[in-house]
Amino acid sequence: MKYFELEHIFRNRLVCVVLAAITLDSPCAFCDANRNEVFNATRSSGTPVSRDNQMNGSNQYAMPLTVIQQFRESHQRDAVSALRDAYVKSRIKNEKQAIAAALISLGENDEELFRFLSNYAEQAIARDLPFPLALDTHGDFVKGKLSDDFRIWCTNHSENLENAIDYAMRFDPADVLFVSLAEHLRFVPLLHRALQSRNPLIAYYGAQGLARLHHGPAVAWIISSCENQPSQAAEVVARNLLAFGDKKAIASAERFIKNKSLLNDFEDQVKRGNTKFVFGE
């Protein structure tokens, strides 16, 4: 498979990043359904709107997950060389991250690939940006209302509210997602730190990465993370526990997931051996 053929697949079989094209059943519906209202709140408060064009311009939401999955499952002999060529030529940050994740998942151990993925994820976790939405007394996110912690963080870091919302709800979680997709034990410490983030989206993808690896100690880590998350966020993070398939993990998931219809769908798929259904695949 030549690079131009692979590029054609990328351009015509794109899967939107979860946060960019949200559906009500996706892991991030609780936040993205409110995203426009959050932006409206920043505008109505008189906050100036600006963009970090250099950073945002390098973040495209085209992520070839279908291509990654195809290569993982088919183990085509020429997949690695085609992906390597694509990695070198790609100038789109998220696309390059997706290719790096695919190469690592296919057994490539090039230090450059690990460094490329981990650098962005490390920055996302270290930013320690609070989740934008405020909470009500029940632990649910309040539509269109920014949290005080988020506003204070923006003030202390001289950051525009709208830019910070993009980082908290799109860019930072996506950087952790690509590490999750690499499915490599070397990333366990990084994923563990992500799981402890106060941003539930980063915690979710940290949990997902550990669940993809079926890393045994992570069951206790994910349970601890859920116990420290708002109830609505805990329900999302806890979905990853079902992928482990053991009794403790399943019982804990049942404790946190309040939507029993959704829980039953997940459990049914896991019983059939389709654990990737938990990850939205």
Per DSSP bridges, beta strands 62-63 and 15-16 are antiparallel
Q: Assess whether pLDDT exceeds 80 at residue 3.
A: no
pTM above 0.75, yes or no: yes
Q: Over range 36-56, report the average pLDDT.
A: 40
For residue 23, is pLDDT > 90? Answer: no
Residue 66 CB-density burial (10 A; 0-12 exposed, 13-18 middle, 19+ buried): middle
Asked if pLDDT for residue 179 goes beyond 90, the answer is yes
Q: Which residue has the higher pLDDT, 31 or 148?
A: 148
Residue for token digits 């859920």?
226
Number of domains in the chain: 1
Computed over every residue of the chain, the mean pLDDT equals 78
DSSP letter for 236, please: H
Name the pLDDT band for 53 (thresholds 50, 70, 90). very low
pLDDT of residue 103: 92
* Residue predicted with more confidence, 80 or 6: 80
The region of weakest confidence among 52-56, 65-69, 72-76, 130-134 is: 52-56
Helix (H) or strand (E) holding 35: helix 35-44
Would you say residue 22 has pLDDT above 70? Answer: no
One DSSP character per residue, 74-105 reads H--TTHHHHHHHHHHH---HHHHHHHHHHHHH
Least confident of 50-59, 124-133, 229-238: 50-59
CB 226 within 8 A of CB 240: no
Of 19-23, 105-109, 165-169, 251-255, the one with minimum mean pLDDT is 19-23
Q: Distance between CA 148 and CA 21 in Å, rounded?
A: 27
CB 82 within 8 A of CB 74: no
Q: Which pLDDT band, with edges at 50, 70 and 90, does 137 fall under?
A: confident
Q: For residue range 222-251, what is the model confidence (pLDDT) as tens digits? A: 999 999 999 889 999 999 999 998 889 999
- Where residue 75 falls among pLDDT bands split at 50, 70, 90? low
- Domain around 94: 3-279
Q: Per residue in 179-196, is it b (16+ CB within 10 Å) or e — as a string?
A: bbbbbbeebbebbbbbbe
pLDDT above 70: residue 10: no
Place 92 in a pLDDT band, splitting at 50, 70 and 90: confident
Q: Rounded mean pLDDT of 123-149?
A: 91
Provide the pLDDT for residue 67.
Answer: 59
